[in-house]
């Protein structure tokens, strides 16, 4: 929100005010999205309430979306076939990456590289926080030139044992990884979210999308630094869920 306010302060024309709508019209507009709101509440409520895991929540969300599409009559055999084909392609790609990353992780562990790296890093005499900052910088730089899942699966087997050996909370470090991924998703030249937007907005050039969105890397990196300096920002909510 701060990033959006800053952009609008610099150039108010990029986000002109929309037409005001009366409350009755707003409530009528919700009729078309009540299913999405119910589905989001079900999935997030179930995960936060401990009813099911995040993976199970994804399955429940997909099932709910399927039944909503059936109820609205928007799902036919052609669209169902396309959904299944796209899902199979995505699953095959992800599993290929996961299998290769698992092999790489096992190879790294077999060569005792994490322990050697940990000993080498500790021998540098850097402060633990400086080491974490260096890891985040490496991930941010890698996120600009490769797909984020690949970057995480390549660096996490190397970084994670070092982080645990330094005494940091594993949950906190994983939150940092998620924040780094968010930076990479909008960082040129391989920001995946930018290519998704370009596919949806055919009349907007990819370069224009990058120019408009890359500025938001600044607040994302600022948030990353805040969570690094104040781990409680990342651990407060998981602490409540664990209780």
Q: Tell me how far apart the alpha carbons of residues 69 and 132 are, in angstroms, rounded to a whole number.
A: 45
Q: Nearest Cα to 187, choosing from 227, 216, 208?
A: 216
181-229 pLDDT, tens digit each: 889 888 888 787 888 788 778 788 888 888 888 888 889 999 999 999 9
What does the block give as tokens for 199? 């596919």
50 lies in a domain? Answer: no
Q: Nearest Cα to 147, choosing from 86, 204, 90?
A: 90
182 lies in a domain? Answer: yes
210 lies in a domain? Answer: yes
44-76 pLDDT, tens digit each: 888 888 888 888 988 898 888 888 888 877 778
Q: How many domains would you assign to the chain?
A: 1
Residue 109 has a pLDDT of 67
87 lies in a domain? Answer: no
Domain that holds residue 172: 113-243
139 lies in a domain? Answer: yes
Residue 241 has a pLDDT of 66
206 lies in a domain? Answer: yes
The answer to whether the beta carbons of residues 235 and 172 sit under 8 Å apart is: yes
Handedness of CA 41, 95, 202, 194 (dihedral sign): positive
235 lies in a domain? Answer: yes
| Confidence band for 113, pLDDT divided at 50, 70 and 90 | low
| Confidence band for 105, pLDDT divided at 50, 70 and 90 | low
pTM: 0.70
């Amino acid at each position: 929100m701060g990033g959006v306010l800053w952009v609008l302060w610099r150039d108010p024309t990029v986000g002109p005010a929309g037409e005001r709508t009366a409350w009755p019209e707003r409530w009528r507009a919700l009729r078309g999205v009540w299913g999405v709101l119910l589905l989001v509440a079900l999935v997030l409520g179930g995960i936060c309430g401990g009813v099911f895991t995040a993976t199970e929540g994804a399955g429940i969300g997909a099932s709910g979306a399927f039944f909503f599409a059936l109820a609205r009559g928007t799902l036919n055999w052609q669209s169902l076939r396309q959904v299944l084909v796209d899902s199979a392609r995505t699953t095959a790609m992800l599993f290929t990456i996961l299998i290769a990353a698992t092999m790489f992780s096992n190879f790294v562990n077999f060569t005792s590289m994490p322990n050697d790296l940990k000993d080498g890093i500790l021998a540098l005499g850097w402060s633990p926080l400086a080491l974490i900052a260096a890891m985040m910088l490496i991930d941010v730089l890698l996120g600009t030139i490769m797909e984020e899942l690949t970057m995480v699966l390549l660096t996490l087997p190397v970084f994670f044992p070092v982080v645990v050996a330094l005494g940091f909370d594993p949950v906190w470090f994983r939150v940092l990884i998620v924040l780094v991924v968010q930076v990479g998703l909008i960082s040129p030249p391989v920001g995946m979210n930018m290519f998704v937007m370009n596919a949806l907005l055919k009349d907007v050039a990819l370069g224009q999308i990058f120019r408009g969105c890359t500025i938001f890397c600044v607040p994302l990196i600022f948030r990353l630094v805040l969570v690094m300096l104040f781990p409680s920002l990342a651990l407060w909510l998981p602490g409540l869920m664990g209780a």
